[in-house]
Amino acid sequence: MNSMFRHLALAAALFASAGAFAQTAPQRTADDSLYQALGGKGGLTTLMDRFMERLLADARMRPFFKDSDQQHVKEQLVLQICEVSGGPCRRDGPDMKKAHDGMDVTRGDFNALVEVLQDTMDAQGIPFVAQNRLLAKLAPMHRQIINTP
């Protein structure tokens, strides 16, 4: 039941952000309340450490991350989530389309990654409302990341 509720909430968050799907980059905001709810830079660093561990343990996600520079990926994710959540960070890496080019990411892969992220946020005790706010900000990136039907 909890899983079904989480998926419904995710769907609601994605539909709520539907107007943003045409954007190519996450919106920056002066409001840092989401950044604070995620635990600031320290909380994000811990979250991404745990997220990477879970990605590598997940048979669906492992192929995408096992041969990557995992430390670099974690650092980029911290910067990206810090930025989109209203924190002081700015990520200077390639856009999401270029970063995922040639990785053959499907919608199922994208959804699996979101599932792992949700589980990681749950395990870290991030409030459900903050989780949905973050997912709504990240959702517009799906058009740049999914590159295989």
Q: What is the CATH number for 96? A: 1.10.490.10
**Taking the alpha carbons of 55, 58, 61, 63 in that order, is the dihedral positive or negative?**
positive
Q: Mean pLDDT throughout 31-55?
A: 97
In a domain, 26, yes or no: no
Q: Which residue segment(s) compose the domain that 96 sits in?
A: 2-10+39-145
Q: Report pLDDT for 95.
A: 82
Task: Give the Cα separation of 71 and 31 in Å (integer).
Answer: 28
Domain count of the fold of the chain: 1
Q: What is the pLDDT of residue 49?
A: 97
Kindly state whether residue 70 falls inside one of the protein's structural domains.
yes
pLDDT confidence bin for 76, thresholds 50/70/90? very high
Q: Give which of 138, 139, 110, 122 is closest to 6, Cα–Cα.
A: 122
pLDDT for res 6:
47
Q: What's the CA gap between 120 and 44, in Å, rounded?
A: 11
Tell me how far apart the alpha carbons of residues 127 and 19 are, in angstroms, rounded to a whole number: 25
Token representation of residue 41:
């830079």
CA 74-79-80 angle, 5° bins: 95
pTM beyond 0.75: the answer is: yes
Residue 55 CB neighbour total at 10 angstroms? 24
Q: How confident is the model at residue 77 (pLDDT cuts 50, 70, 90)?
A: very high
Alpha-carbon distance 130 to 94, whole Å? 26
Amino acid 126: pLDDT = 97
Model confidence over 81-120: pLDDT tens digits? Answer: 999 999 999 988 888 888 888 788 999 999 999 999 999 9
Q: State residue 128's pLDDT score.
A: 96
